[in-house]
Amino acid sequence: MIRTLFVVIWTVFVTILFGSIAIMGSFFDRTGKFPHLVARSWARSILFASRIKVTVRGLSNIDPGRSYIFMSNHQSNFDIPVLLAYLKVQFRWLAKAELFRIPLFGIAMKRAGYISIDRSDRRSAFASLKKAAETVKNGVSVLIFPEGTRSRDGSIRPFKKGGFVLAIDSGVPIVPVVLHGTWSIMPRDKLRIESGNVMLEITEPIDTLNFTRKTKDALMEKVRGRICDRFEKGKNIPP
């Protein structure tokens, strides 16, 4: 419990520190690149304090010079620091509106160009997807948790369709990303934080050009099948 208390206090401290730096820096960099780099440092500091070691596989599957829609399984609150720290490309979050209401953290996210989506309002959700599509077309990658929320038991939940409409409308490849080990570090509805090993697996891009809105379910099943398959295989990898 002492470890958890220390990590929580540390997270509050570095969120205030790096959040302030990101907000101030955003006035001089309207591209969002500097705030994203600050967010990467924020994430690494939290992982270091939590004694979490991250291994990355498949980084060579992506070209840093082009844009993608990254889709990751969502296991824990620690998914965000792991992805920020070790997915070494510029990307913007397509994240639920609740995250943007967190004091300072939410402001920093907005200044970095991250995109809020309010799923309680269908019209607002589609407007958010349209904004995200424009962001991707301008050459910036976007990261989505297609499950919409964290897993309660460590399994992969059903996917929501919005991200796949975005992928088809944007015409850029989807890169399925698989997180292994974050659920055991901090399961949903648990306050205890454990140290441990995590693997971030970046799989091969899936082309979206041959899909339409009418066939988005087939694309969704292809992506979900890839993530589920790699996630299950990862259970057999020694920590």
pLDDT at 116: 78
- What are the boundaries of each domain within the chain? 2-234
pLDDT at 187: 82
For residue range 55-109, list pLDDT tens digits in order.
999 999 999 888 999 999 999 999 999 999 999 888 888 777 777 787 777 777 7
Question: Which CATH code of 3.30.1380.20, 1.10.110.30, 3.30.1360.70, 3.40.1130.10 fits the domain covering 2-234?
Answer: 3.40.1130.10
Is 190 a residue whose pLDDT tops 90?
Answer: no
Is 239 a residue whose pLDDT tops 60?
Answer: no
Structure tokens of 204?
A: 């091969």
For residue range 104-158, list pLDDT tens digits in order.
777 777 777 787 777 666 777 777 777 778 778 778 899 999 998 888 888 899 9
pLDDT at 80: 93
For residue range 196-221, list pLDDT tens digits in order.
999 999 999 999 999 999 999 999 99
24-29 long-range contacts, CB within 8 A, separation 24+? 26/108, 26/111, 26/112
pLDDT at 205: 97
Residues 103-137: b if buried by 16+ CB within 10 A, e if exposed: ebbbbbbebbbbbbbeeeeeeebeebbeebbebbe
Residue whose structure tokens are 């440092």: 41
Percentage helix, strand, coil for the chain under 3-state DSSP, each rounded to 5: 50, 15, 35
Is 41 a residue whose pLDDT tops 80?
Answer: yes
Q: Residue 166, CB half-sphere, CA atoms under 13 Å: how many? A: 31
CB 78 within 8 A of CB 52: yes
pLDDT at 236: 62
3-state DSSP assignment of residue 10: helix
Is 11 a residue whose pLDDT tops 80?
Answer: yes
DSSP 206: B
Is 234 a residue whose pLDDT tops 90?
Answer: no
* Residue 33 binned pLDDT confidence (cut-offs 50, 70, 90): confident
Percent of the chain with pLDDT over 90: 47
pTM reported for the whole predicted model:
0.88
Q: Beginning with the edge strand found earlier in the chain, give each strand of the sheet holding 91-96 in spatial order.
A: 52-57, 196-202, 174-180, 69-72, 141-144, 91-96, 115-117
β-bridge mates for residue 179, sequence order: 200
Short-list 69, 72, 239, CA closest to 171:
69
pLDDT, mean over the chain: 87
What backbone phi and psi angles, to 5 degrees, belong to 158? -60, 150
CA distances from 158 to 31, 35, 89 (A): 34, 32, 27
